[in-house]
Amino acid sequence: MRSYPSNRLCAAGVFVVLSLFCGGALGPSQSHAAGALAVGLPPDVAKGGFTYGYSNNNEDANHAEAKALDACRSTKDAKNDVNLRSLCKVIQDYANQCVAVAMDPAAGTPGVGWAVASDLLTAERQALGKCMDTAGPGRRAACVVDHSSCDGK
């Protein structure tokens, strides 16, 4: 009797390839990558305050935007100020990127900044730079990163 091991190996190989393909195509997604940043920015931050919200790792941009807007409108300052809450709008959608927001933590100061970049350090540096630009010469050193995180992998 003659044996045909190559046919069995071929069949096994086809099974493995199909299993990987179907498992990858039909199985659950390992990562969601949709983020959004929403900001409420009045004409005079020193007088009107500042609020923001973000959302990472969502199924799609619509979910990310809705969550970011909700977060922007739900901060302590926005809850107490209908005008500030009404200013919340989505500034940027992103995927597989990092977001950072920096501000001068003292009340009544104008320094704020935000950024979306390919890595966390770059996003933080850019947000701090924008905060320093708006803080004025006497308050530049007061800017700190209030939040930073990444979407996706």
Residue ranges with strand state E in 47-105: 51-55, 89-94, 98-103
Check residue 56 and report its DSSP letter.
-
pTM: 0.78
**Is 21 contained in some domain?**
no
Q: pLDDT, tens digit, for every residue of 64-113?
A: 999 999 999 999 999 999 999 999 999 999 999 999 999 999 999 999 99
Q: How many domains does the chain have?
A: 1
**Is 70 contained in some domain?**
yes
* Pairwise CA distance, residues 68 & 62, whole Å: 10
* Pairwise CA distance, residues 84 & 144, whole Å: 22
Amino acid at 32: H
Instruction: Please give the residue that has the higher pLDDT: either 15 or 135.
Output: 135
Give the residue numbers spanning the domain of 136.
35-150
pLDDT at 31: 53
User: What three-state secondary structure class fits 55?
Assistant: strand
**Is 23 contained in some domain?**
no
**Is 64 contained in some domain?**
yes
**Is 24 contained in some domain?**
no
pLDDT at 25: 40
pLDDT at 8: 42
**Is 82 contained in some domain?**
yes
